[in-house]
Amino acid sequence: MDINNLIIENMANPHELERMFRKEPEAFKKSFLYAWEQNPDSQVLAIWYERLHFKETANAEKTSLLQKDFLSMGILAILAGISTRIIFHFVEQQDIAPINLVFGILPLIAIYFVYNNFPKKNVLYTLVSSFLISGFYLNMLPLEQKDSIILAYIHLPIFLWVLLGLAFTGNEYGRGSTKLAYLKFNGEFCILYASMAISGMLLTALTMQLFRFVGMDISEFYFKNVVLFGAAALTLVATYLVSRNLKLAKNIAPYIAKIFSPLVLVTLLVYLITVIWVGKNPFLDRNFLLSFNGILLSVLAVTIFSITESGTDEKKNVSDYINFALIVLALLIDSVALSAIVFRLSSYGITPNRLAVLGVNILIWGNLIWIMLSYMRFLQNKTGPSSIQDAVTKYLPVYGLWAAFVTVTFPLIFY
């Protein structure tokens, strides 16, 4: 019997309709429309119609959204490449500082976040005004290699990074979970961008070599017009892929965190033992003190990355104890660094560099204490992992405020 008639005959028999669909799903779908046209008032067929077509509609809407999102990413990526190339031209002419290159990338990533998660007017106005004022103020500073000016150049990207977090979180900027998502985004972004950048470097090396075979050196032209453009545009591509839940970055990030944390811990312990053995003194050796602070920042970054990738599992594992050991070690390093900085300030006087390093070390010390105490309560089963994540995420605005303070006030105070 014709399947069209079978569908009509079995409208009151759900079991038979289901059996027919599972036996020949494609034939059932094709014949169903005829039965539906003949019996438009049937509630049973109305349910089947939604069942057969709802998924297709949902997929169509999703595809349309992805295409729209991909198009916006493509436009912003091209704009990032063009604007970065234009800014680089003025940097070459020594008309503006090289740090202006961040304005060819970060505002466009912020636009991408805002476009996909449009915030309230107060958040939008804060973002726009902050980027504009930052760019204006930066280029009002004299192009001089003074310590206070260099400190402003170093701290401005930190402030803009925190500002980018506001664009990412949108109206939910106060929620710890969205701040944690932003930190996870950064870790996955770095992994993905590095992977694509390595591929780009291999392509660049191959291109250079191919042109050398025909006696042409295109290295300068290629760097200015292809590498620079591609490096800037790639930031938007990586942002898009991570935002679209690319499984490569999300799957590999937790494993990298689990592998690197113990390696960093062992390396750091060996390094500190060696430092004590050879008698290096951060109180007297300025370069060693700077390297000490570099180690501290690296350990803090690895620890935060590991915490953000550990998820919300209440069950403790080896990684938690390694993270706790890293935090204790980082706190020890920071305490020594703080003592050395205070000693140098009291012995040699106040300079913008010493004051900036003192400020950031105090901030990191406070953050590490908070994280360590949260971890202790977690390991003692007094709290869950959310308290550790709060200790990380709620401190982010403090770093942004300090970076803004150094950027704005130090060139004025120490000029």
Range of lowest pLDDT (34-43, 312-321, 366-375):
312-321
Q: What angle do CA 60, 65, 71 make, to 5 degrees?
A: 125
- Any idea of the CA torsion for 63, 69, 73, 74, to the nearest 10 degrees? 50
pLDDT at 380: 85
CA 308 to mean position of chain CA atoms: 11
Give the mean model confidence (pLDDT) for residues 191-202. Answer: 87
Helices and strands per DSSP (H, E), number in the chain: 16, 0
- Selected residue with higher pLDDT from 269 and 74: 74
Give the mean model confidence (pLDDT) for residues 157-162. Answer: 93
Q: Is the dihedral of CA 107, 109, 115, 117 positive or negative?
A: negative
d(CA 17, CA 7): 7
Q: Please, which pLDDT band fits residue 57 given cuts at 50, 70 and 90?
A: very low
Pairs from 385-391 (Cβ < 8 Å, separation ≥ 24): 385/310, 385/311, 385/312, 385/313, 385/314, 386/176, 386/312, 388/307, 389/176, 389/180, 389/307, 389/308, 389/312, 390/176, 391/367
**Percentage above 70 pLDDT, the chain:** 89
Number of Cβ within 10 Å of residue 202's Cβ equals 10
- pLDDT of 60 > 60? The answer is no
pLDDT at 66: 57
Query: Does pTM top 0.75 for this prediction?
Result: yes
- Any idea of the CA torsion for 358, 359, 364, 365, to the nearest 10 degrees? 60
Q: What is the pLDDT of residues 203-236, one digit of tens each?
A: 888 888 888 887 888 888 888 888 999 999 999 9
- pLDDT of 265 > 90? The answer is no
Spatial contact of 17 and 7, defined as CB atoms under 8 Å apart:
yes
pLDDT at 56: 47
Q: Which of 19-28, 213-222, 299-308, 359-368 has the highest mean pLDDT?
A: 359-368
- pLDDT of 248 > 80? The answer is no
CA 149 to mean position of chain CA atoms: 27
